[in-house]
Chain A
Amino acid sequence: MRRFPWFTALVLFAMVLAAIFAPWIAPHPPLEGDLLRQHLPPAWLPGGDPSFPLGTDEQGRDILSNILYGLRVSLSVGFFAVIISVLIGVPLGLLAGYSRRFGELVMRAVDIQLSIPTFLIALVVLALWGAGLLKLILVIGIVGWAEYARLVRGAVLSERSREYVLAAEALGVPTPRILFRHILPNVLSVVLVQISVDVPRVILLEATLSFLGVGVSIETPSIGLMVKRGMDYLFSGIWWTTALPGLALMLLVLTTNLIGDWARDAFDPRRRLVRS
């Protein structure tokens, strides 16, 4: 087994802490601007101001503080949306694996859901229903159920023919008890691996939707929105309003992915790499 990536975990942990405690450690309120100090470069460049370490945007808002608050949004979307997907997908997958009829029904629904890219569904729904953090979490969360249902159903089907389940059935243990007490713990590793793939994917999805202007609302500090606004000033040579927030986001997703890779190696001996 591969060694646990301590350094990566440490970086991720630091970023999560920084995001959680953003209100206490951010040097400035994220949305407080001052047109007298717009587009200050990062502190290490000529013209920079040490109290704005990563510079300011077109309204004079502190980039560092916005990144910290933005990571908070990224992480909460990643966390809560995936929880919603798990809460819908796992029970459906369990039942689908146990009842043949219901299983067919669920698999057809999965087929329909997966016949359109998740990104497109979220884009259309949010563009027509309006942006907002809560809507974003709900939409991404609900749309993500299918993958969990499919994986859990598959895992249940292969667990069902094992001796311990047959024994429990022969002893007359009620079905719900078999499902939740006996089978669920054994398919959990599949779910954990999928979660580790899903969290970084959802974080990128949030950033992309916000970048297109249909994610979180404009008053919410968000990495995607910062990059979107910074794009208007690219050709004036203002690079820090787009480059730095994106870099921070990439570091967050990168560390999450590296931990996920480790988790996959550690928990899933079959190492399914291929995703459709």
Chain B
Amino acid sequence: MRYFVVRFLQMVFAVWAVATLVFLFLQLTGDPMELLAPEDMTEAQVEELRKAYGLDQPIHVQYLVYMKNLLRGDLGVSWTSGEPALALLAQRFPATLKLVLVALGIAILFGLPAGVWAAVRADSLVDRTLRFLSVVGISAPTFWIGIMLILIFSVTLGWLPSAGAHSWKHYILPGVTLSFYRIALFLRMIRSTMLDVLSQDYVRTARAKGLSERVVIYKHALRNALIPFVTLVGLQFGHLMAGAVVTEWIFAWPGMNRLALNALFTEDRPVILAFVVLTAVIFAAVNFVVDVLYGLIDPRVRYA
């Protein structure tokens, strides 16, 4: 129990630190009035506007207001659309979530069996081929994969749409693009943990007592290899939620990553801030859940 409490407090601390650092960083990037105020505004009007945004206050006051609002879930108002930043992100959240789940699904569907296959046939031709392909997978730039898929399946063959999120067909290209790296990652990981597990005593015992190879691999070995795998999948989920920027941009996906990228280009600070803080929260939450699960499955962790 103490373990979970400590982890929880560390998580809250990390989110607070990130929120503070982004706030300070944004203070360093210049006077926001240069962005907010139209060119033809008079000096007095600019000061009026500054007051309206609360930007006339000293920094520590602004910081306290910011923290107070943050605790109530208020992350400011978008400078470009005038809507609450968090609401804007929340609108786009489901599109990103669906895409990420599709990508993770594809990655597990291919990466997991391929990893098991490679481990069972260690050092065979199959294993060496899969291993080489997995290095290719982690070496290919995601943006390039996406563009090549568009070139092949949208431009040349005309089979699949390359922009928007209107039907299930729209999920295929961005989903595959996002999963490409993860298939390779999962394959490598499952292969190496399976190799570890297959050399353990209990696997030898299972074989010795005459269980079929299928039962040994799927019931005894794979189950144990899945524990670290669940951790990796969880962490990748966190990474994808804030790392689908490139894919969402290429495929004009109506998700929150593309919103955040646009906010960066227009220097819409409240939205940038909200996105970074939201990412920190998602990351921390995922880490915490993974840790708790791990602690429940594997009691050794709690006492480490």
Interface residues in chain A, defined as those with a beta carbon under 8 Å from any beta carbon in chain B: 108, 111-112, 115-117, 119-120, 123-125, 127-129, 200, 204, 207-208, 211-212, 214, 224, 227, 230-231, 234-235, 237, 239, 242-243, 246, 249-250, 253-254, 256-258, 261, 271, 273-274, 276
Contact = CB atoms under 8 A, between A and B. Distances in A.
Contacts of B15: 115
A55 to B, nearest CB: 15
Q: DSSP majority for the B interface? A: helix
Contacts of B235: 276
Interface stretch (B56-64, B77-85, B87-95, B261-269): B261-269
A97 to B, nearest CB: 18
A214 B143 CA distance: 14
A123 B249 CA distance: 14
Interface residues of B, number: 50
Interface stretch (B46-54, B106-114, B133-141, B213-221): B133-141
Interface string B242-269: 1101100110000000000100110100
B2 to A, nearest CB: 17
Q: Which 5 pairs between the two chains have the least Cβ-Cβ distance?
A: A246-B144, A254-B139, A127-B264, A253-B139, A115-B14
A256 B18 CA distance: 33
Given A116-B18, A273-B192, A257 B139 contact: yes
Interface of B: 10, 13-15, 17-18, 21-22, 25-26, 29, 135-136, 138-144, 147-148, 150-151, 155, 188-189, 192, 228, 231-232, 235, 239, 242-243, 245-246, 249-250, 261, 264-265, 267, 272, 276, 279-280, 283-284, 287
A84 B283 CA distance: 26
Given A120-B279, A208-B141, A257-B135, A111 B147 contact: no
A276 B236 CA distance: 8
A237 B135 CA distance: 29
Given A116-B18, A119-B243, A237-B155, A231 B139 contact: no
Contacts of A214: 264
A200 B189 CA distance: 18
Contact of A117 (B22, B139, B279): B279
Contacts of B189: 273-274
Contact of B239 (A117, A124, A224, A273): A117
Contacts of A237: 155
A258 B135 contact: yes
Contacts of A129: 29
Given A207-B141, A231-B147, A274-B228, 4 more contacts: A116-B280, A224-B141, A227-B147, A257-B135
A212 B246 contact: yes
A256 B15 CA distance: 35
Nearest to B26: A128
A243 B18 contact: no
Contact of A111 (B14, B140, B192): B14
A56 B108 CA distance: 40
Contacts of B279: 116-117, 120
